[in-house]
Chain A
Amino acid sequence: MAEKPSDEGDRNAKPEQAVLKTVDAQDARNAGAADLSLVEKARTNTSDGSLRKYAGADLADQEDSVSIDFGSYSASRKSGLTEKEIIAIGSKTYDAQAVLAYNPEPGNNISDATNATGVQENQQYEQDKSKILAKPVEVQPSGVQVTGLDYNTDNVPPSSKLFDFAQSATARLISEEGRQEYFQGQIDKVLGIGEGLNLAKEEVKTSTQQAVSKAWTALQDGSVSSFMAQPNAVNDPLFRTIGQCLDTMKRDPNAVNNVLAIMGRELDEANRKYDKLAPHDRGVQTGKAMFFFFNPTGSTESQGIRHMTRAEAITQRVEQQAMHMPEVPPELKHLELQNATPELITGVIGKGRRVEVVMPGSSNWRYLERIGAEANAGGPDNFHILIKPNASKIAVLEEFLHGTQKKLGIIDATGPEIAEVRVKDFMLRHQKLLGLTENDSVVLKSLKQLELERAQRRGFTLYEIEEKRWLSLPSK
């Protein structure tokens, strides 16, 4: 039976139903092809039905996001300023004699940012370039405390220095039994902190003893060696902590006498930072690493190096794990890099830099050798650039960009360690703009990784190096 809608019924109608009854809604619902065509023609953003043109939309948005500010010029993706144009801006005619200021006769020295093309440099390099090379000493640091960790002060390789250091430290410490007892106490303390926060006094004693027992077992069954052999062991905060201890000892001769106290303090500090590990695990890791370095009777049998002395074992581990990690792929060392062209050097000079090509035997050359560098940027504005003959393009560009970093306040804000990483990152992101070859980029990537790990070994965190990119920088 049909029922006449009442007033009550109309008042209860749902809003969307009311809307659909409007004239506009009815028109829209009943629109034909001709109506749709009219509407489509009226659009200002008519689609051609393809999304292809939007594929690069994100990149386009970034065109203005990164640029190099030269003051009166700005180089960015959008401006399209190329290396050639940067050089042209210098507006100077290249004069090899004036710019390079050295004998233009082709020398025996082949040098670039990586020594990648092979080197024969007045016997200063050995054939096996995987080693840290002994270098001539300019000034003998006779008045300096020698713990075996000084750098390049003689022709003794780092392994021997560490060996000497270990012997020196051992000799100056308390008796072997006393040292072992002290460390035992430190382990008790560290593990006690980790495990005992919420436990009663008696429970702490019990669990600590168990944990210490586990640490000893870990040492004897080879777990310690396994721990240190982990790929990222050198990045472990504990490893760095121990490195800091050694560094502290190196700096202050008297610190050797206090090494045990320092060790304990550093371990406590490190332990507090192990928030990602369970307290018990933190203690075990601490104990393992500590015993690895200092336990007089540390078992290394499982690694097949029983015949080695303790110091030699330490040396081997430190060299393998810290000094040479990561292993640079051998093939990278033979990649041919672009040399810096005279035009590029002229262009850099045109930007206010003072470029000096240093020659073997000069004080500047010895300085670069001493700090293991292919080039250097220094002075108040980091505009004084030292390069070796036949320097690579990436070396010259990097030193040029360090000056730019200084102008922008980046170096002041971050320090040289982080600036080294970021400039390489910048160059990789702008490799096309800078005209880098594939080889240049591959080597640059590896160099960036080396700098990253170097900075981490100096106590900088990944957050500081990579993520705190935009913080703490002064405005232009």
Chain B
Amino acid sequence: MAKFAFKVIEVFDLNERLALITDVLSCREHKHGSVIELHRPDGSVIQTESWYEVPVRGLNAPSDPPYSIGISNVDINGARITMEDIPIGTEVWLPDVSTEEINTAQNMASTGHGNTKSSSG
């Protein structure tokens, strides 16, 4: 069960993947590696993996740049995705957070992961 999160306002081809500029500043619900749904204006849906893009901004950068995500250039069925496949206005739907959290918790429980101290950052 997915839910609407934001819209795509620009698309860039970064060779290895596609980068989407969204119409929001931030989205806590979006998780690195999650499979998102791209609801295109014509009603069709593409499912693909998505990731965080982590930029370095300088002192002169805009204070509030838009939230951007990277997506795989192949969908979950292995079909190629190009910029043309993602028209402006395409909606990004994210996996239901509650379901995802449950799965994450179950995974962590099964692998023995827990709260612990890390060594960096």
Binding site for B on A (CB under 8 A): 66-69, 112-116, 129-130, 132, 138-144, 150-153, 247, 250-251, 322-325, 328, 332-333, 354, 356, 363-364, 366-368, 370-380, 382, 384, 386, 394-395, 398-399, 401-402, 404-406, 408-412, 415-417, 419-420, 422-423, 425-426, 443, 446-447, 450-451, 454, 457-459, 470-476
A381 to B49, CA, bound (A): 12
Interface of B is mostly: loop
With A395-B56, A450-B59, A459-B26 known to touch, is A382 a contact of B51 (CB < 8 Å)? yes
CB distance from B100 to the nearest CB of A (A): 12
What's the interface size class on B, roughly?
35 or more
On B, residues with C-beta under 8 Å from A are: 6-7, 9-17, 19, 21, 23-26, 28, 31-33, 41, 49, 51-66, 68, 70, 87-89, 108, 112-121
Partner of A139, one of B15, B19, B31, B88: B88
Chain A, Cβ-Cβ closest to B21:
A370
Q: A378–B14 contact, CB under 8 A? A: yes
Q: By the criterion CB–CB under 8 Å, are B88 and A115 in contact?
A: no
CA distance A409 to B56 in the complex (A): 19
Contacts of A379 in B (CB 8 A): 16-17, 51, 70
Evaluate contact between A411 and B52: CB separation under 8 angstroms.
yes
Give the docked Cα–Cα distance between A340 and B112 (Å): 40
B33 contact set on A, CB distance < 8 A:
380, 412
Q: Which residues of B contact A142 (CB under 8 A)?
A: 88
Shortest Cβ gap from A135 to chain B (Å) = 9
Among B11, B49, B51, B114, the most chain A Cβ lie within 10 Å of the Cβ of B51
Given A129-B60, A370-B21, A473-B115, A423 and B53 contact (CB-CB distance below 8 Å) = no
* A471 cross-chain contacts in B, Cβ below 8 A: 115
**Contact A143 B23, beta carbon cutoff 8 Å:** no
| CB-CB under 8 A for A474 and B53, given A333-B59, A419-B121 | no
The answer on a CB contact under 8 Å between B120 and A139 is no
**Are the CB atoms of A443 and B59 closer together than 8 Å?**
yes
**Is A405 in contact with B121, judged by CB distance below 8 angstroms?**
yes
Nearest B residue to A373, CB-CB? B55
Contacting residues, chain B, for A470 (C-beta < 8 A): 115-118
- When chains A and B are docked, how far (Å) is the Cα of A363 from the Cα of B13? 6
The answer to whether A371 and B54 have CB atoms under 8 Å apart is: no
Q: How far is the CA of A323 from the CA of B6 in the complex (A)?
A: 22
Given contacts A401-B121, A423-B121, contact A116 B59 (CB under 8 A): yes
Can you add 16 more A-B contacts, CB < 8 Å, to A332-B59, A363-B15, A371-B55?
Answer: A66-B120, A68-B120, A69-B120, A115-B59, A141-B88, A144-B89, A151-B65, A251-B24, A373-B56, A374-B57, A378-B51, A378-B53, A378-B70, A408-B120, A447-B57, A473-B116
Residues in chain A near residue B58, CB distance under 8 A: 112-116, 372, 374, 447
Q: Which residues of A contact B70 (CB under 8 A)?
A: 378-379
Flag if B12 contacts A138 (CB, 8 Å).
Answer: yes
Residues of A within 8 A of B53 (CB): 371, 376-378, 416
Question: Is B26's CB under 8 angstroms from A417's CB?
Answer: yes
Task: Determine which of B55, B88, B113 lies in contact with A143 in the assembled complex, contact meaning CB atoms within 8 Å.
Answer: B88
